Amino acid sequence: MVKKETGLSAKDAEEQVVSLANAGHTPSKIGLILRDEHNVPNFRDLTNKTIQDVLGESKLLGDIPEDLLNLIRKSVMLFDHLEKNNKDFSAKRGYEITVSKIRRLAKYYSKKGKIAKDWRYSAEKAALLVK
């Protein structure tokens, strides 16, 4: 397999990450943009840092990690669906599983210090957080 040359230096790639984050892109979306548009197959190999590290240095990381926020968005969507369709038991099961994943992930992140120790999930807080 032939390695392609990237058009960006390490410093240029970091600047690109910061500018894409300022434009409102999530870290995973930034990685996809770098791969597809700027021919950077692996940001870590190029810069010896992760996208999260660069965003942390620039104070551009959110309060809640991206994977937890995506689960919260999913739970809000399912909760809204269940309010309109209260007989949809498969959606109810999906909501319960999603809330369980949120609680487990929140426990992990609170141990790692990425979110507050007293952070708890509630449907009302989640709806406000997502909107």
What's the CA angle centered on 114, arms 116 and 51, to 5 degrees? 150
Mean pLDDT of 52-80: 93
Name the residue range of residue 34's domain. Answer: 10-57
Note whether residue 4 is domain-resident. Answer: no
**Do 33 and 73 share a domain, yes or no?**
no
Distance CA 50, CA 117 (A): 25
**Do 113 and 74 share a domain, yes or no?**
yes
Residue 1 pLDDT > 80, yes or no? Answer: no
What pLDDT, on the 0 to 100 scale, is given for residue 49?
A: 92
**Do 89 and 41 share a domain, yes or no?**
no
**Do 71 and 41 share a domain, yes or no?**
no
Note whether residue 1 is domain-resident. Answer: no
**Do 32 and 77 share a domain, yes or no?**
no
pLDDT in tens, 68-98: 999 999 999 999 999 999 999 999 999 999 9
Distance CA 15, CA 9 (A): 10
Mean pLDDT of the chain: 91
Residue 6 pLDDT > 70, yes or no? Answer: no
Task: Give the count of domains, the chain.
Answer: 2
**Do 44 and 19 share a domain, yes or no?**
yes
**Do 86 and 109 share a domain, yes or no?**
yes
